[in-house]
Amino acid sequence: MSDPSGNYSGWKATCIGQNNQAGKSLLKTDYEEGLSTPAALKLAVKVLIKSMDATTATADKLEFCVVSQEENKVVQRILPESEVEKIIAEVKAEEAAKGDE
């Protein structure tokens, strides 16, 4: 990341934008080195839910692209809405379960 002054800083996980403090706080507690792709997607959804201006996160408001390396080739895959909806539902169910504890 570079800021307007030209200073460069490296991050493993960070947020920028209007509600970045809420996202950074969540990343500090939930981010772990070496997260699997499904776990990283869930974490991304959690951060977006906490920091979005919209009242509810839906698949038509979020879009994800997974970039990976397979057989020495870079492969990018845009997740279909159905897969994004499934991830959102899983995150919301986990958050509801935490609230019941």
What pLDDT score was predicted for residue 7?
Answer: 83
Judge whether 3 lies within some domain: no
CA 87 to centroid of chain Cα atoms: 11
What pLDDT score was predicted for residue 101?
Answer: 62
pTM above 0.85, yes or no: no
Judge whether 12 lies within some domain: no
- Structural domains counted in the chain: 1
How high is the mean pLDDT in each 10-residue block of the chain (101 residues)?
78 84 91 94 91 80 93 96 95 84 62
What pLDDT score was predicted for residue 74?
Answer: 97
What pLDDT score was predicted for residue 1?
Answer: 65
Judge whether 31 lies within some domain: yes
Question: What range does the domain containing 37 cover?
Answer: 20-100
Q: What is the 3-state secondary structure (H, E, C) of the chain?
A: CECCCCCECCCCCCCCCCCHHHHHHHHHHHCCCCCCHHHHHHHHHHHHHHHCCCCCCCCCCCCCEEEEEECCEEEEEECCHHHHHHHHHHHHHHHHHHHHC
